[in-house]
Structure 1
C-alpha cells in the first residue's frame, strides 16, 4: 500500500487518492475519490488525478478514523498489563485513530501537572492521536472549577471502587461539590455509575463475593447502577452539569437516561461492545474473561441496549479497553480484577452484531451508525476538532473496512499486550483492512505492517492550541 508524500501535480492539491471505495460521509454513503494533502482531507472528486499515489479500497467502505473515548492503556505504572505501544497497535488494528485515556494509572492523573507529565511520557510512542479524561479528586474539587480546557475538558468520576479506581466518590456531599465545580467551568463528567454504598450494604449482609461466576451478576446487581444513575440525574438537574454515563448495563438505566435526555437534561450515555455481545450466561460459563464492572446482565437487558443503538439514543460506542494479565484473571473470584481488552474488537464486534440482528437493514445505514457513534458524536462531545468526519479540511484519518469478510479471531490476532481476548473463537463479519492517520498508513492487515508512532496529544481547543501543548 502507498504512503502519502508523493509528487504533487500542478493544480492538484493531493498527495494521496483513495479510490474504489464507498465513502461514509456525514450526508450518507457515496462513491468518489477522496484526496489527501498535508495530513488533511483536501476534497472528494470523481477521478484520481494523474501521478498521485493511490490507495485502492477495493469496494470496501472508507470510514473516518474511529474514536474510542474510553480506553485504559495503563501507562504509567501498570505496564505489565498493557502499554501505550501495544494499546495503540490494537487500536489501529481495529480502525481506531483517536483515543481518550482514563486516569486510573500509577500515579493517577488527578491534576493538570499529572496530565502533562503523562502526555510527555506517551509522545513518540503512540500510533494514534490521544487526549485524556482527568480524574475527579473528591479532596480537590476546585481543580475542576479552574481546569484549563487545553489540558482536558472532561473528568472521570468513579462512584464505586474496583481494583484500579484511584479515588471513589460515594459521599453525597463530595459528589455534589464535584458536580458543582464541573458545571462552573463546563467540564463534562464521565461516570462509572455504580453505588458503592449499596455494594457495602450488600457485602455486609451476604458476607462477601461469591465462590463461582454463576453468582457474579447477582453479587453486583442491577440495583447498583440504577441507584447511581438516579443520583447522577438529580445532580445534573440541580447544577446543569454535562454528564456522560459510561458502560450502561441494564434496560432500566437506558430508559432513565433516555427519558432524562428527552426532558432536556444534558446527559448522554455510552454502550460497550461487551455489554452488547455477552450475557450473564457467558460469564457463568467462561468466568473471569467477562468479569466486568458493571456486570454483564441478562438477555432482556442486552436487547434493550441494542434497541438504544438502533434508535440513536446512545451517544458513543466505547471499548472500555482494560487489559489484565491471564494470571490476574485466573485469581479467585474475590481477587480477579474486572475488565477485558477491547479496542481492537470494538467496531467489528458491533458491526457483526448489527448484521446478525438486523440482516435486512441497508448496510449503508448500519455503517453510518458506526461512523456516527464512533466518529461524529464523540468528536462533538469531547471537542476533538478535525476528527470523526470525512469532509474537506478534516484530519486525514481513514479506515478501509471490508463489510462482508468472515473470519475467526484467535489469540494470534490480538495486538494488546495481555495476549488474550474474550472474543477468541468468535466468527466475525467485517474486517479492517487498512488504517490511515494524518494521511499515512499506520496499519495494513494484508502486509502485517504497522506504521510509525506519530500520534499527537490533542487539545479540545483545536488544532493550533493542540500543537502548542505538544511542544
Structure 2
C-alpha cells in the first residue's frame, strides 16, 4: 500500500526543508521538496503540518533482559517502548541469562526477536576471557560487532586477562568487526568502594557513586582499550563515555582513524548534583559525573568528537533501585523518552536538530554499516519518526511502556511529542494508537 506523509519539515542528511515522503509498501519511494501533497492514489495520508519528519532513531546500546531476566523486561515490552519513542531499530547487549557468548545463545536471541520484536533488531556478540576463537565464526552480515566488558558491571563477562584482550582485539580486526567496550577499571573501583565503606558504612550514600566509579577508573580502562585498538588496527567504539578527560584520547596519534565515542542520555542530561533529588534512580555504570563533565560531553556532540548517542536502556524493578552505592542496582530505562529528551536539548541550544538526527540515526547506521537504514532516501526501508513541537505533556506512570513501569524522568514536562512512527513502512504508532501486530526485521550489515 502506498502512503503519503505531507506538510511536514523534513530533517535529513544535514538539511531541513518542507517536503513530502511517499512510502510504497516497506520502502521510501519518493521524497519531494514542496508543501503540497504529491499527486497519486494513496491508501493512507498523514498531514504532518507543524511537525518534523525524521529518520527512525537507531539505538545501538540497549539491555532488553531476555532471556533470563523477563521479570524486568522482554524484547516485546521494550521494543514497544522503542516504537513509542520513535526508535525503529535497536542493538541489544549480551549480558542476559544465558549470556550471549556462544553461537547458540546468539541464535536463540534472533529467534526470540523474530517472534516478538515490534521494531528492527540485532544483537552484539559478547566476548569473554575464553571465547575469542568464536569471533572467527560470526556472520559479519548478521551482527554489528563484538561487545567487550572491561569493567566490573557484568560478573563473569568481565575480561581482565591481558592475553584474552589481545586475542579479542586481534580476532575482531581480522573479521573487520568493531569492538564496543564498557571501560571501567575494576581494581580502582574495588579500592574506592572499600575506602567508601570504611568512611560511610556498608552502603555509602548514592552521592558518592561518582567518586567510587571514578574518572580515573574510566580513564585507565579507556586508555588501555585505545592502546589495544592502535596495536591491532581494530575499530573501537567506546560506549557511554562519561568524563571530559576521556575525550582527550582522540588526540593520540592514529586514534581518530580507529576510535569512535558514544554518549548516552544519562551522562548528557544529569550530573552528580542530581543524586540529591533523583537518588539511585540515576545510578548507572559508568556513573553520572560532574557538571563540568556533562558540559564537555555536550560540547563534543556538536564538534564531532562524540559519534553516536545511545541510551544504555537498562530496566530494573523499582524495588531493586532502592539503597545507595552498594545495594541499589545500576541502570535505568530510557528508550521511550530518548528522542524527546534530546529534542529538549535542541530547544536549550545544546545541539541542532540536524546534529541530533546525525547522532541518533545517520551515524549509528554509518558506523556499524547497517544496510538501508538511518536515512530518508529513496529505496531505503521506510523507518520514520514524526515529532511535534509545542505539544506539552507530563510523563506519568500510565504513559510508560517499559515493563518496569518507572522512569527517572517521571513528573517531567516535555514540549515535544512523538506522534507517528513507521517501521518498514508500517504505521506502528499513530497518535498513541499502537499496532501490536507489527514485527520488525533483522538488521543486516556490510
Normalising by the residue count of structure 1, what TM-score does the alignment of the two structures yield? 0.89
CA distance in 2, matches of 1:73, 1:314: 24
**Equivalent runs, 1:228-243 vs 2, <5 Å:** 228-243=221-236
1:408 is displaced (CA, Å) by 2.0
Q: Does 1:126 align with 2:117?
A: yes
Q: Where does residue 381 of structure 2 map in the other structure?
A: 395
Is 2:294 aligned against 1:294?
A: no
**1:16 counterpart residue number:** 3
Match of 2:368 among 362, 365, 382: 382
Q: 1:50 to 1:42 in 2, by over 3 A?
A: closer
Out of 150, 159, 164, the residue aligned to residue 169 of structure 1 is: 159
Does residue 59 in structure 1 map to residue 33 in structure 2?
no
The question of 1:309 aligning with 2:296 is answered no
- Relative distance call for 1:206 and 1:19 in structure 2 (3 A) is closer
Deviations 1:377-436 (A, max 9, x none): 101111211101011011011111113323221222111000000011222232111001
Aligned partner of 2:177 in structure 1 is 187
Q: Deviation digits for residues 333-381 of structure 1, max 9, x if unmatched?
A: 42321000010111111111231245xx8xxxx2211211111110111
Aligned to 1:372: 358
Of the three residues 305, 316, 327, the one matched with 2:319 is 327
Q: Distance in 2 between matches of 1:212 and 1:425?
A: 24
Deviation for aligned residue 1:312: 2.3
1:305-454 superposed matches below 5 A: 305-331=297-323, 333-358=325-350, 366-445=352-431, 447-454=432-439
Conserved 8 A contact 1:292-1:339? yes
Cα-to-partner distance string for 1:233-256 (whole Å, 9 max, x where unaligned): 111110111010011111101222
SS of 1:43's partner is strand
The corresponding residue for 2:220 is: 227
Is residue 92 of structure 1 aligned with residue 83 of structure 2? yes
State the shift of 1:213 in Å: 1.1
Partner of 2:12: 25
Cα displacement (A) at 1:66: 0.8
- Report the 3-state secondary structure (helix = DSSP H, G, I; strand = E; otherwise coil) of the residue aligned with 1:345: helix
Distance 1:166 1:23 in 2: 46
CA distance in 2, matches of 1:139, 1:41: 44
Assess if the C-alpha contact under 8 Å between 1:441 and 1:451 holds in 2: no
Q: Is 1:460 matched up with 2:434?
A: no
- CA deviation map 1:209-263 (0-9, x unaligned): 6421122211211100011111011111101110100111111012223x24875
1: CA distance, partners of 2:313 / 2:51: 26
Residue 105 (1) aligns with residue 91 (2): no
Q: How many residues align?
A: 439
CA distance in 2, matches of 1:84, 1:123: 10
Tell me, yes or no, if the aligned pair for 2:197 and 2:204 is still in contact at 8 Å: no
Distance in structure 2 (CA, Å) of the matches to 1:371 and 1:261: 29
Per the alignment, in what secondary structure is the counterpart of residue 390 of structure 2?
strand
Q: What runs of 5+ residues in structure 2 fail to find an aligned partner?
A: none
Matched, 1:245 2:238: yes
CA distance in 2, matches of 1:244, 1:83: 26
1:144 aligns with 2:135: yes
How far off is 1:153 after superposition? Answer: 3.6
Q: Answer with 404-413 or 79-88: which moved more.
A: 404-413
CA distance in 1, matches of 2:162, 2:227: 11
1:192 deviates by 0.5
Q: Deviations over 1:132-173 (max 9, x none)?
A: 1110122021112342213324011111122x4551012222
List runs of 5+ in structure 1 lacking aligned partners: 6-14, 462-471
CA RMSD, Structure 1 to Structure 2 (Å): 1.8
The separation in 2 between residues aligned to 1:285 and 1:25, in whole angstroms, is 37
Structure 1, residues 431-468: CA drift from partner, whole Å, max 9, x if none? 111001111111123x433342311122214xxxxxxx
